[in-house]
Amino acid sequence: MNSFEPKHHIVDFLFPLALFFVFAASAVMLILTASGAYRNTAAETEKNYNARTAMAYLTEKIRQGDENGAVFLDSFDGRDALAIRQAYNGASYTTYIYADEGALKELLIKDGTDATAASGKTILEVQSFEIEEVSPHLFRFRTEDTSGEPFTFFAGFKSEKGGAGQ
């Protein structure tokens, strides 16, 4: 009797092995490509977060204090600052928003009180911060984040100048 025995060839072993390596190499390439895309997306998201956070914060502060000339440009401890004057319990207070030591800072002080720029609360890390009054109701803000990426935006207000702020 002649029994049938299958013959084993080297190809029976090499083909699945080669297929496995092609699959493994494809998976590694996919992971490397995805991680690069994720890294770029995360960097862009952080850059947009910093720029938009500064814009949203300043815009909201201006809108909150927008009454009778209470929003104006001023100088605080030798730095250009956005100033917002408000009255609490019969006393006048001013909020200063300015750049100091690589950060955008905010400080609320009672008018007539001495304070330094270092006393402010850090809002956001920035390399630079500039304010310019473009028209009587419009400010231009320029910020540069920690990576050196510039961002410019405009913020306006409705109230007339001359009241509490000037």
The residue among 113, 108, 116 whose CA lies nearest residue 79 is: 116
Cβ(146)–Cβ(43) below 8 Å: no
Phi, psi of 98 (to 5 degrees): -155, 170
Give CA–CA dist 91/98, Å, rounded: 23
pLDDT tens-digit readout, 41-53 = 888 887 777 778 8
Cβ(83)–Cβ(74) below 8 Å: yes
Give CA–CA dist 26/127, Å, rounded: 42
CA 85, 59, 74 angle in degrees (round to 5)? 40
| pLDDT value at residue 34 | 92
Q: Is 40 helix (H, G, I), strand (E, B) or coil?
A: helix
Provide the 8-state DSSP code for 130. E
Q: Is the pLDDT of residue 8 over 80?
A: no
pLDDT tens-digit readout, 12-43 = 888 989 999 999 999 999 999 999 999 988 88
| pLDDT value at residue 165 | 42
pLDDT tens-digit readout, 83-142 = 999 988 889 999 999 999 989 999 999 998 888 999 999 998 888 889 999 988 889 999
